Amino acid sequence: MSFTKTIYVLIGPKGSGKTHIGNLLERAFGIAFLSVEKLGLGNIPKSKLTGIDLLKEGFHQEEAEIDRIL
């Protein structure tokens, strides 16, 4: 048996309400909401990496969190 999952990506400029809409969807429909901005900003102080290496680490962490949610 094969299951499929749908991922919705909210894209927009800073301050446009992405997090607000994501939180509303999570509460109303039980959709897991992952704010990658919050995830990334929370990990920066813990990392000793900079530049492109920090970005790569962030992408790996985001991918791992998406896998966990799905």
Q: What is the mean pLDDT of residues 45-67?
A: 83
Write down the mean pLDDT value for the chain: 84
Rounded Cα distance, 62 and 32, in Å:
14
pLDDT digits (tens, 9 = 90+) for 4-32: 878 888 988 889 999 999 999 999 999 88
In SS3 terms, the chain reads as CCCCCCCCCCCCCCCCCHHHHHHHHHHHHCCCCCCHHHHHHHHHHHCCCCHHHHHHHHHHHHHHHHHHHC
Q: Which two tokens stand for residue 61?
A: 């962490």
Residue whose structure tokens are 């920066």: 44
Residue 25 has what pLDDT? 94
What's the pLDDT at 57?
83
